[in-house]
Structure 1
Amino acid sequence: MYAIPLAPGAELRPLEPWQAPEFLAHIDRARAHTDPWIPWATYSTDLDSARATLQSYADKQAADRGRIFGIWREGTLVGGVMFVHFDAAAGTCEIGVWSEPAGEGHGLITAAARHLLTHAFTTRGLHRAEWRTTPRNTRSRAAAQRLGMTLDGTLRAHSSYRGERLDIEVWSLLAREWEREERTDRA
């Protein structure tokens, strides 16, 4: 197993099906905070469904179509990042993030998302990364902005959550923009 340090006492590690009990405990702590924004928070309600969520990402990883990682702070799973979609042939991916309150305010989501963007652009040679959120999810919008993403537009009434139609914003970052962002950070 490998871990990528994000900050003192915090690290990024793969999330795998065998970790379903820890993942479920985390989602139970995070549910009220993440349920409107992360679809699988709604249906990962018991050990079998939590394992199925993680297995779906293991299957995506095996097919090179997605992957999920957890963020641990002081040994406790407090959030994560994922390649919701990953298409190497098309050169595109979508990144998603989530956190329970104990994981917020420490820069962990931004640091973890930076690792995914570096992997997508530098290691895998992708051209475009997307980030989707609702206009009401101000923390997610702020993270996209911190990462240097541009708001491409809004898909009006695109998704449904508990009977309510939600707009979805599409943010993006291109490889050439990421290269400029990385050069600026190093300088």
Structure 2
Amino acid sequence: MFAVSLGDDGAELRPLEVWQAPEFLAHMDRARALVDPWIPFAAAATDLASARTLLQRYADKQAADTGRLYGIWRDGTLLGGVLFRIFDAESGNCEVGCWLEPAGQGSGLITRAMRHLIDWAVDVRGIHRVEWDASAANTSSIAVAKRLGMKRDGVLRENYLYRGTRHDSEIWSVLAPEWRAQRG
């Protein structure tokens, strides 16, 4: 397995795999209150079987080259992750996402990990458009999109039904030439 350093604070980006379901479930239990208001990711992993199922779904996506899932560890503890929710190399488009538990907040972990993810998508896989979809009320997620230099494409009004409530979604994106230019 590989690990990519995310800086001097001991943080690493690594694949998150099915055999890590017990660790992932414990992490989701710590992250649930922060993640559940926005996405059903934590709600999809409520016991060991469902955690394995979620991780297997992403293993299958990786095998089909349609998605990937990575964890962020600091000092040996899983704190969050980043993912390609949708990955379409043929069209040159992907959608990225993230989650984090409270212990990881405020240290730039998501931004640093996402930079590695986007670098790989653009430089290695030839992705042209990287998209970020967030609830308009999720200001933390939108702040990351801004830090990544993404541009707001627009708002999809009440397009996302979650827990009986309709939410507006903000769509942000960065195009490969923009990504390369901002890296210098």
Smaller-chain TM-score bracket: over 0.9
Alpha-carbon distance in 2 for matches of 1:38, 1:78 = 17
Cα deviations by residue, 1:138-185 (Å, 9 ceiling, x for unpaired): 1100000000000101111111121110111110000000011111xx
Aligned to 2:40: 39
Q: Residues 38 and 98 of structure 1 are in contact (CA less than 8 Å); yes or no, is this contact kept in structure 2?
A: no
1:67 deviates by: 0.3
1:22 paired to 2:27: no
Aligned to 1:163: 164
Q: What TM-score results when the alignment is normalised by the length of structure 1?
A: 0.96
Please provide the CA RMSD for this pair: 0.7
Most deviating of 73-82 and 38-47: 38-47
Aligned to 1:126: 127
1:40 deviates by: 2.0
Letter in 2 for 1:119: W
Q: Residues 152 and 171 of structure 1 are in contact (CA less than 8 Å); yes or no, is this contact kept in structure 2?
A: yes
Alpha-carbon distance in 1 for matches of 2:163, 2:128 = 35
Q: What TM-score results when the alignment is normalised by the length of structure 2?
A: 0.98
Alpha-carbon distance in 2 for matches of 1:80, 1:38 = 14
What is the aligned length? 183
1:73 deviates by: 1.0
Q: Residues 84 and 96 of structure 1 are in contact (CA less than 8 Å); yes or no, is this contact kept in structure 2?
A: yes
Query: Which residues of 2 match residues 63-142 of structure 1 at below 5 A?
Result: 63-142=64-143
1:70 deviates by: 0.3
Q: Residues 11 and 72 of structure 2 are in contact (CA less than 8 Å); yes or no, is this contact kept in structure 1?
A: yes
1:42 deviates by: 1.4
Q: Residues 131 and 171 of structure 2 are in contact (CA less than 8 Å); yes or no, is this contact kept in structure 1?
A: yes
The percentage of aligned residue pairs carrying the same residue is 62
SS of residue in 1 equivalent to 2:6: strand
SS of residue in 2 equivalent to 1:106: coil
Cα deviations by residue, 1:50-107 (Å, 9 ceiling, x for unpaired): 0000000000000000000000011100000000000000000000011001111111
SS of residue in 2 equivalent to 1:72: strand
Letter in 1 for 2:110: I
1:12 deviates by: 0.4
Alpha-carbon distance in 1 for matches of 2:134, 2:94 = 15
- Unpaired runs of 5+ residues, structure 1, are none
- Unpaired runs of 5+ residues, structure 2, are none
Most deviating of 33-42 and 68-77: 33-42
Alpha-carbon distance in 2 for matches of 1:72, 1:131 = 22
Aligned to 1:2: 2
Alpha-carbon distance in 2 for matches of 1:172, 1:39 = 22
Alpha-carbon distance in 2 for matches of 1:111, 1:134 = 21
